Amino acid sequence: MSQFEIVSREDFSEVTYLLEVRHPQMARAARPGQFVIVMLNEHGERIPLTIADFDRHRGTITLVIQAVGKTTKQMQQECRVGTSLFGLVGPMGIPTHIGKPKKVLCVGGGLGVAPVFPQARALKEAGAYVIGILGFRSKDLIFWEDKFRAACDELILCTNDGSAGMKGLITDGIAVALAGHADVDECVAIGPPVMMKACADATRARRIKTMVSVNPIMVDGTGMCGGCRVKVGDDVKFACVDGPDFDGHLVDFDDLMTRLRRFTPEEKRAEQRWSDSCRMPQPPAMRKVGEDGLELPDPSEEALGG
Amino acid sequence: MPVKRSDKTPMPVHDAQLRAHDFVEVNTGYTPAHAAFEAERCLRCQDAACVDGCPVNIPIPDFIHAVAAGDMPKAAQILRGANPLPSICGRVCPQENQCEAQCHMLKRFNPVAIGHLERFVADWERTQPVTAKPNITRKEKIAVIGAGPSGLVCAGELARLGYSVTVYEALHAPGGVLRYGIPEFRLPKSVLDWEIGVLKAMGVEIVCNVVIGRTIKMDDLFENMGYAAVFIGTGAGLPQFLGIPGENLNGVMSANEFLTRMNLMGGYKFPENDTPMKVGKRVAVIGAGNTAMDAVRSSLRLGAEAAYIVYRRSEKEMGARVEEYHHAIEEGVDFRWLTNPLEVVDDGNGWVSGLKCQKMKLGEPDASGRARPIPIEGSEFVLPVDNVVLAIGTTPNPLLTRTTSGLMTNKKGCLVADESTGLTSKALVFAGGDAVTGAATVILAAGAGKRSAQAIHEALQQAPVAAH
């Protein structure tokens, strides 16, 4: 079965990788801001991933994934060009509203850089002046700088350790952008909840409309379970069908972060169990001699060493 | 042990103490001797009222007669001719409100155990090779949205009528509530898989991982994909919440999330399966329908030491099947009648520590015809629990209607459809099951699917070329 075949893969760093998956129907239907639910195999869980790009001519969608737990690490190990995903459904969620903003900040933190890209591109195509603000921990985690340079009028790159671009947090990048532009009328911020919260706080005083893309725990992604519910103002919303984009000045990020910890012990247990099984000694034929020509350690010795 | 003819032949079950901790099917099914004995109880009424009580009008006395005569192939053929999902309906129908409620035996004795006999025949059939074959004799293609009971039955009927049918399902496996909702101990997934296998053998194509409205627009089904008619069987899967304080705390789940994690994702086998599913020591399930029974009985099986049903009305108003209720009592579920939840109590770290409730008394009947619960002042108390599961009902998912123009819904979000045909406000688009009625039963959905299949057939014969 060659459904949901992976047609290309790119590794941005030790933890971040890109998969381009064949799905012509979805490539046609996808809009910026939407996401998919992926299942690696029949025993797998359903995980939400934002559509980082789509190519209608190639009939593919692109996912950028960070290996943070069992499923994403297993995908990093097993998803190669030519392999297929067991399940892939979407595009889910309400597409981002691309109105007629004049000047926009497109802010991406870490992995959030990927899902902000289709929005930045669509905003640019809609005629907006786009200021991209990308934040990474350090230089070696940077990806898609070139794609953003092509889609943005200005690009501010921040790294926490100053190894590339300006040194500082993404909110420092926002401060720089706002200092240079008094007429920013919209902000799109995607990244970890704590970063989106900080971005919303940074734009609140200037009353700049700030849209964030929330990332709660999801199961079905079609609105049938409410596992992804988030507090937005006085309402409780289901991120999968009412979102995932919401007004960042209204989202209760503390509630979101608490709810993201619902299964932390189980997530650790699943990952531990999986990594233990990966550390099982491999048959000698599978091992390659290192480039430095050193002999490989005795497999039984390695197994003992755990 | 001799059984009096006035009583139903009891269904053999696994021991309550043992089964309360595993996911093996509770009912073990009739033996041929049980079935023959029970079939003999049927009076073979000329005017068989039981048939009218069945939403798909199974010729009940005929199949029971075949069982009594020991002619299992005939019994199976009669059943399947009327109901494409007999091994499921025999297990999950509330027969006490349907066929068995009309049985003439009921006037003086207990009704004939029609459901148990249906299940017996269907289970026998599953031991035989599948004989169904594709029979595509018509050029029109029909799309069915949703692979739940109404969609599967509609697809099966249309395939029998000679149409080429494709069922589109949003999840990664077909079955709808039969897959994600009803637990293994009530409906083994192997039974569901077998029934779906029969439909596939008949030529029904099932395409999973497609959300109509998102992956494919409804209008594209007609305009670009050449379907002549569409049946919508998308169910009522949107869970309701109470809107009480503390409902967002960790440890509070909708029954849909609880059951989906457990059944569809196999979370009861975590970490063998990747989807986590756990309960604490004490679980409160709010509601008293079949969904609540499924969740509360599953809680015990997942290791809870105490599992409560919290219901604001009394035992009499409960919506669950009698059989499930009795099984729940035997397994040790603690029922708190006339108890209304007011607030989920925070443990200080964002997790549930209890459920604040208020005792109720019953007053005059309300709009639903059931006695209205009235709070008793000063009766508030906190039930210490680690989890709260909300099983207070579902409404239709708005995803399809939000993304499709011209589909009329009522104020509850249900699709507006003709009662006898299921025709919606859109030409050649039919609908049935919970998407139209709101949350109801598997067999009512199956009945609606069957009626719409017939209506689609008639509509296409009148207008063979779709004017869309």
Same domain, A194 and A62: no
Taking the mean position of all CA atoms in its chain, how far away is CA B93?
A: 8
Domain boundary among A69, A92, A115: A92
- Residues A11 and A140 both lie in one domain: no
Q: Is the pLDDT of residue A299 over 60?
A: no
Residues A120 and A79 in one domain: no
Cβ contacts of A219 on chain B, cutoff 8 Å:
257, 260-261, 265, 275
Taking CB atoms and an 8 Å limit, are B274 and A45 in contact across chains?
A: yes
Pick from A23, A58, A92: which residue ends a domain?
A: A92
Q: Within a domain: residue A227?
A: yes
pLDDT category at A65 given cuts 50, 70, 90 is very high
pLDDT value of residue A281 = 56
**Percent of chain B predicted with pLDDT > 70:** 98
Q: Does domain B141-237+395-462 have CATH number 3.50.50.60?
A: yes
Residue A202 lies in a domain: yes
Within chain B, all domains assigned CATH 3.50.50.60 are found at: 141-237+395-462, 241-392
Interface test with A, best of B189, B265, B275 (most A CBs within 10 A): B275
Cα separation values, A41 from A47, A65, A74, A84, B147, Å: 12, 17, 10, 9, 21
Confidence of residue A290 (pLDDT cuts 50, 70, 90): very low
* Cβ–Cβ below 8 Å for B250 and A259: yes
Q: Where are the alpha helices (DSSP H) in B202-331?
A: 218-223, 255-259, 290-301, 322-331
pLDDT at B137 over 80: yes
Q: What is the mean pLDDT of residues A9-33?
A: 94
Nearest alpha carbon to residue A106 among A92, A95, A96:
A96
Q: Residue B3: what pLDDT?
A: 46
Q: A147: domain range?
A: 103-258
Are A70 and A111 in a shared domain? no
For residue A267, the one-letter residue type is E
Residues A22 and A169 in one domain: no
Q: Do A29 and B214 touch (CB under 8 A)?
A: yes
Which string of DSSP letters, residue by residue, matches A208-244? -EEEEE-----SSSSSSS-TTEEEETTEEEEHHHH-S
Look at residue B405 and tell me whether its pLDDT is greater than 50.
yes
Question: How far is A240 from chain B, CA to nearest CA, in Å?
Answer: 10
- Of A211-215, B122-126, B361-365, the least confident: B361-365
- Band (pLDDT 50/70/90 cuts) for residue B416 is very high
Question: pLDDT tens-digit profile of A173-210?
Answer: 999 999 999 999 999 999 999 999 999 999 999 999 99
Question: Which one of A29, A86, A231 has the shortest CB-CB distance to B248?
Answer: A231
A247 and A131 within one domain: yes
Q: Which of A35, A65, A92 is the last residue of a domain?
A: A92
pLDDT digits (tens, 9 = 90+) for A238-262: 999 999 999 999 999 999 999 999 9
pLDDT of B467 over the 70 cut: no
Long-range contacts from B122-128, C-beta under 8 angstroms, 24+ separation:
B122/B76, B122/B79, B122/B86, B122/B87, B122/B90, B123/B29, B123/B87, B124/B72, B124/B75, B124/B76, B125/B72, B125/B76, B125/B79, B125/B80, B125/B86, B125/B87, B126/B87, B126/B191, B126/B194, B128/B73, B128/B76
Q: Please give the model's pTM, rounded to 2 decimal places.
A: 0.91
Mean pLDDT across the stretch B52-79? 94
pLDDT at B464 over 70: no
For chains A and B, what is the number of CB pairs under 8 angstroms? 119
Domain identity same for A113 and A59: no
Q: Give me the residue from A91, A231, A269 closest to B214, CB to CB.
A: A91
Q: Which residues of B touch A267 (CB under 8 A)?
A: 276
Distance from CA of B265 to the nearest CA of A (A): 7
Residue A264 domain flag: no
Cβ of A77 under 8 Å from any chain B Cβ? no
**Residue B286 predicted with pLDDT over 70:** yes
Question: Do both A201 and A58 map to the same domain?
Answer: no
Of the given ranges (A120-134, A270-284, B30-44, B260-274), which has the lowest mean pLDDT? A270-284
Residue A119 maps to a domain: yes
Asked, for residue A247, whether it belongs to a domain, the answer is yes
Q: Are residues A117 and A28 in the same domain?
A: no
Q: Is B250 on the interface with A (CB under 8 A)?
A: yes
Q: Please check the confidence at residue B43 and state whether its pLDDT lies above 50.
A: yes
Q: Where residue A302 falls among pLDDT bands split at 50, 70, 90?
A: very low
Check residue B263 and give its pLDDT: 95
Contact call for residues A120 and A106 (beta carbons, < 8 A): yes
Q: pLDDT tens for residues A94-121?
A: 999 888 878 999 999 999 999 999 999 9
Tally of domains within chain A: 2
Is the pLDDT assigned to residue B53 strictly greater than 70?
yes
CATH 3.40.50.720 fits B241-392, yes or no: no
The residue-averaged pLDDT of A20-40 equals: 95
Q: Identify whether residues A75 and A138 lie together within a single domain.
A: no
Alpha carbon A126 to its chain centroid, in Å, reads: 24
Residue A57 and residue A174 in one domain = no
- Residues B192, B91 contacting (CB under 8 angstroms): no
Residues from chain A that touch B399, judged by Cβ atoms under 8 A, are 222-223, 241
- pLDDT for B66-109, tens place per residue? 999 999 999 999 999 898 899 999 999 999 999 999 999 888 88
Residue B395 has pLDDT above 60, yes or no: yes
For the domain spanning B16-125, the CATH number is 1.10.1060.10
A154: domain CATH number is: 3.40.50.80
pLDDT of residue B462: 83
Which residues 6+ apart lie within 8 Å of A138 measured at CB?
Answer: A159, A160, A161, A163, A164
Residue B2: band (very low, low, confident or very high) from pLDDT cuts 50, 70, 90 = very low
- Pick A285 or B380 by higher pLDDT: B380
Residue A67's domain is classified under what CATH number?
2.40.30.10
* Cβ-defined contact of B399 to A222 (cutoff 8 Å): yes
Supply the mean pLDDT for chain B.
Answer: 93
* B330 vs B368, higher pLDDT: B330
Contact yes or no for A255 and B248 at CB 8 A? yes
- Chain A residues 55-74 with a CB less than 8 Å from chain B: 70-71
Assign A2 a pLDDT band (cuts: 50, 70, 90). Answer: low
Find the range with the poorest average confidence among A39-43, B368-372, B425-429: B368-372
Chain A 188-217, residues with CB within 8 Å of chain B CB atoms? none
The whole-number pLDDT of residue A145 equals 94
Q: Does a structural domain hold residue A270?
A: no
Instruction: Band the pLDDT of A292: cuts 50, 70, 90.
Output: very low
Q: What are phi and psi of A156, to 5 degrees?
A: -115, 120
Render pLDDT for B184-219 as a digit per residue (tens, 0 to 9): 999 999 999 999 999 999 999 999 999 999 999 999
Residue spans in chain B of domains classed CATH 1.10.1060.10 = 16-125
Q: In the prediction, which pLDDT does B22 show?
A: 86
Q: Is residue A296 part of a domain?
A: no
pLDDT of residue B235: 94
Query: Pick from B253, B350, B398: which is nearest to A258 by CB?
Result: B350
Quick one: pLDDT at residue A280?
61
In a domain, A283, yes or no: no
